[in-house]
Amino acid sequence: MAKIIGLTGGIGSGKTTIAKYFKEMGVPVYIADDEAKKIMQSKSIIEDIKSVFGKDVFENEVLNRSKLAEIVFTNSDKLNQLNTIIHPAVKKDFELWLQENKKYNYVIYEAAILFESGRYKDCDIVITVTAPEEVRIERVIKRDNTSRKEVLNRIKMQWKDEERIHKSNFIINNEHIEKAKEEVVKILKILNIKQNQS
């Protein structure tokens, strides 16, 4: 069975960009947030979200992710309730994906809240992606067309870099992407992962 490399980092650290670079280098990548978005469209999950958050977070039966984000990123209890709905479904989906990719030596499991959710315990290796806070804030404002206040609310809900680093095997500083890519190559060499492993 493939070993699981957990890849995480705070919002705006650029962990998804790093994950895509690992993929280019031949390592299968599972991006938990992307899969969670798909899972949140399933009928059973929609019903669970309605029962907890009400119909106000839906418009014409379509989940309004912005409204839901406003609620959960200012209320840790509500965020925990949402995670209780989503995380088991993502875990089940990942296990199926892992079976499909079991021929590989390593796979990447990329998740923003790898530590907060406790999923890091299922990983053989953990990599944390970091970047200065101001760089992260600027990236998210530009990417999501959001406010500084909303970005800071999300940052507050996540672990601090120091906490993540303490529990990680490797750290990638992603202030400058070219240097970060060099770190990826170094890690692949250390783990002896051949490019386009199969």
Q: Residues comprising the binding site?
A: 12-17
63: which residues sit within 8 A by CB, 6+ positions away?
A: 40, 41, 46, 49, 57
What stretch of H or E contains 8? strand 3-9
Binding-site annotation: residue ranges for ATP:
12-17
User: Do 164 and 158 meet the contact criterion of CB atoms below 8 Å apart?
Assistant: no
164: which residues sit within 8 A by CB, 6+ positions away?
A: 8, 9, 10, 115, 128, 130
User: Do 57 and 71 meet the contact criterion of CB atoms below 8 Å apart?
Assistant: yes
Identify the burial level of 75 via C-beta atoms within 10 angstroms of its C-beta, where 0-12 means exposed, 13-18 middle and 19 or more buried: middle
Phi, psi (rounded to 5 degrees) for 135: -65, -45
